[in-house]
Amino acid sequence: MKEAHEEQANGAKAGQVVIELEGVSFGYGPEHPILQDISFTIPQGQWVSVVGPNGCGKSSLVKLFNALLPAGAGEITVCGMKLEEASIGPIRQSIGMIFQNPDNQFVGATVEEDILFGLEGLCLSHEEMENRLQIYSERLGIAHLLAKHPGELSGGQKQRVAIASILAMEPGIVIFDEASSMLDEGSRDELLSILKGMHAEGRYTLLMITHDADEILASERVLALHGGSLAADVTPAELFRNEELLERCHLRAPYAWRLAGELEERGIQVDVPGSEKELIETLWPYNYSK
């Protein structure tokens, strides 16, 4: 499946750089710098977590990619297009963004109108819009909610509508700006499984601003921001092993990782677990041997 869609993300092949930042800075005037000299590249298909304490510039950073905020300095290239006035339209087509508060991103008066809002902007034919409306509403499990008003939906349902609205536009890059922070546990798990499904398809490059350890663990790479600078570009495992970095980013390792650490301190060596279940599987032989 992943290989089948390798070349579908805006013509980008797997591994090809789709986001490139070179010396990017941003601030609200010279007295209020937010981001300073940020440089990194993100290849197609990668799932990247963006972490850092509140106010460190995570949301500002991702809003620079599609010119929702204007970069003060540096160069941004998305899908091979240098970000400038003429390329804003195509770049916004290739980047989809899902924001924190599902209420504030609901443009249409009904679920159907909200999904159609982006599609009508793409000037698609009626048949194509109908086709995408059906595909993405079914895929996100909201086909039965198309006539509903935002006030009739739960937070999780609203967030699924927001995702369907973005995916229906078929962007290659999807950014989740703390999209799970206002959701309950069940809806969070639902969102995480949607993300895993999207990643498995291989056609999406995913960026997720998050404070959630499980979401970070599911990603492939972590960009840690601190004080407006890129403090670390590491794997989730490297992040969770680095106590100092975790503290700087105001994060905690997942429960299974913390427990494995405690066990190691007491002389019980266990492999780095991906989940609580994996940790139990690792520990089970110890119990059995007794």
Partner 1 sequence: MTGLAERGMTMNERLLLGRSIETGSWVHKLDARSKITGMLLYVVVILLSRSWMAMALLAVFSVVVMASTRIPLKYFLKAAKPLRYLMLFIFIVQVVSVKEGAVWLSIGSWDLYEDGLRLGAFSVIRMFFLITFSALLTFTTTPGKLNQGLEGILSPFKRFGLSPDRITLMIDISLRFIPTILDESQIIMKAQASRGADLKELPLKEKGRMLVSLLVPVIASAFRRAQDLVYSMEARGFRMDAPRSRYHRPIWGGADTVFILMFVVMGVAVAWL
What would the two tokens of residue 19 be?
């986001």
Q: Which residue, 109 or 237, is less far from partner 1 as judged by CB?
A: 109
* β-strands 229-234, 73-78 pairing: unpaired
Q: Which residue, 68 or 143, is less far from partner 1 as judged by CB?
A: 68
Helices and strands per DSSP (H, E), number in the chain: 11, 10
Q: Which residue, 109 or 280, is less far from partner 1 as judged by CB?
A: 109
Minimum CB separation of residue 100 from partner 1 in Å reads 8
Minimum CB separation of residue 10 from partner 1 in Å reads 14
CA 209 to chain CA centroid, Å, is 6
Minimum CB separation of residue 170 from partner 1 in Å reads 12
Q: Which residue, 172 or 236, is less far from partner 1 as judged by CB?
A: 172
Q: Which residues bind partner 1 (CB under 8 A)?
A: 63, 66, 68, 89, 92-93, 95-97, 99, 101, 103-110, 113, 116-126, 129-130, 133, 147, 149-152, 165-166, 169
Minimum CB separation of residue 153 from partner 1 in Å reads 10
Minimum CB separation of residue 277 from partner 1 in Å reads 37
Q: Which residue, 91 or 232, is less far from partner 1 as judged by CB?
A: 91
Q: Which residue, 45 or 118, is less far from partner 1 as judged by CB?
A: 118
Q: Tokens 């995702």 — which residue?
A: 163
Minimum CB separation of residue 284 from partner 1 in Å reads 47
257's CB contacts (< 8 A; 6+ apart) are 213, 240, 272, 273
Q: Which residue, 97 or 206, is less far from partner 1 as judged by CB?
A: 97
DSSP string, 227-279: TTEEEEEE-HHHHHH-HHHHHHTT----HHHHHHHHHHHTT---PPPSSHHHH
Which stretches within 171-219 are classed as H helix?
185-201, 213-218
Q: Which residue, 92 or 188, is less far from partner 1 as judged by CB?
A: 92
Minimum CB separation of residue 165 from partner 1 in Å reads 7
* Of 203, 256, 219, residue with least CA distance to 94: 203
What would the two tokens of residue 91 be?
């770049």
* β-strands 173-177, 73-78 pairing: unpaired
Give SS3 for 210: coil
Minimum CB separation of residue 54 from partner 1 in Å reads 16
DSSP string, 115-162: HHHHHHHTT--HHHHHHHHHHHHHHTT-GGGTT--GGGS-HHHHHHHH
